[in-house]
Amino acid sequence: MPYVTTADGAEIFYKDWGPGTGRPVVLSHGWPLNSDSWQIQALFLAEHGFRVIAHDRRGHGRSTQTWDGNEMNTYADDLATLIDTLDLRDVTLIGFSTGGGEAARYVGRHGTGRVAQVVLVSAVPPMMLHTPDNPGGVPVEVFDGIRAGSLADRSQTYRDLADGPFFGNNRPGETVSQGIRDAFWLQSMASGHRNAYECIAAFSATDFRPDLDAIDVPTLVIHGDDDQVVPFAVGGQASAARIKNARLLVYPGAPHGITDTHPEQLGRDLLDFLTSTS
């Protein structure tokens, strides 16, 4: 299986789909998942001629479960190792949820010399946590509850997320398949316990506002307005307002996990963006 090795010796697993000569699209996944969560979009874009690369974040999936480095700076540097090792250029960075933070922090730390476009999907920037200078954020008690659940019974915590807010299955009339919910649980349980636990702070308390200010390439922001994990006003709406000339697409009534609940719409919107500014 393909891996790249980081400066501290971590091995980062990645998939490389589609024609090797296609323009590269790099996908960063959400918490506590892995690159399998992108499989619908990866196949769709690869079949349309793009070279699609999706990696497992350190501590998740098939990558090394390091003890340290479970924070955004290291995640972004791991992403840079992947892009540099494969010598990718003219890249479209697409980040879902926590992966959107990873993509933003990559730009903040490594610039856009290799990046042509950025897409944030249900993403955690600009900053999720409520603080004095981020009064619209999510109270820390919410994240403390996720941490407590992870320590007490992380398997059931992941079940509860999949059965409820992640896919909006707790809304009247919603019937997200058992298969989709099982896939979420399976991927989540493949993450390292410490890695996933520490990642909660990484996605919730990291301030991505300076990173968004550094984005100087065409950017698409996609967010559901019924996202119960990263509320629309906290995430997509605020990011689109902050990033210079960003385009915002709102999915009415859509939950957080739109990669699974709205795959056809998301695929079309990604392809339109990739081709309209190529």
Distance between CA atoms of residues 253 and 109, nearest Å: 34
Per-residue confidence band for 278, with pLDDT thresholds at 50, 70 and 90? very low
The answer on pLDDT for 1 being more than 90 is no
In degrees and rounded to multiples of 5, residue 180 shows phi and psi of: -65, -45
Given this model, what pLDDT does residue 240 score?
98
Q: Is the pTM of this model over 0.75?
A: yes
Is residue 182 predicted with pLDDT exceeding 50? yes
Which amino acids are annotated catalytic? 97, 227, 256
Query: What sign does the dihedral 99-150-197-236 (CA atoms) show?
Result: positive
Confirm if 242 and 210 have CB atoms less than 8 A apart: no
Q: Which domains does the chain possess?
A: 3-276 (3.40.50.1820)
pLDDT tier at 277, thresholds 50, 70, 90 = low
The proportion of the chain whose per-residue pLDDT surpasses 70, expressed as a percent, equals 99
**Mean pLDDT of all residues in 92-99:** 98
Write out pLDDT tens, residues 141-160: 999 999 999 999 999 999 99
DSSP per-residue letters across the chain: --EEE-TTS-EEEEEEES-TTSPEEEEE--TT--GGGGHHHHHHHHHTT-EEEEEPPTTSTTS---SS--SHHHHHHHHHHHHHHTT--SEEEEEETHHHHHHHHHHHHH-STTEEEEEEES---S--B-BTTBTTSB-HHHHHHHHHHHHHHHHHHHHHHHHTTTTTTTSTT----HHHHHHHHHHHHTS-HHHHHHHHHHHHH---HHHHHT--S-EEEEEETT-SSS-TTTTHHHHHHHSTT-EEEEETT--S-HHHHSHHHHHHHHHHHHHHT-
Residue of 174 and 222 predicted with greater confidence: 222
Copy the structure tokens of residue 59: 């501590």
The per-residue pLDDT for range 102-123, each reduced to its tens digit, is: 999 999 999 999 999 999 999 9
Instruction: Tell me the per-residue pLDDT of 6-61, one tens digit each, with 9 for 90 and over.
Output: 999 999 999 999 999 999 999 999 999 999 999 999 999 999 999 999 999 999 99
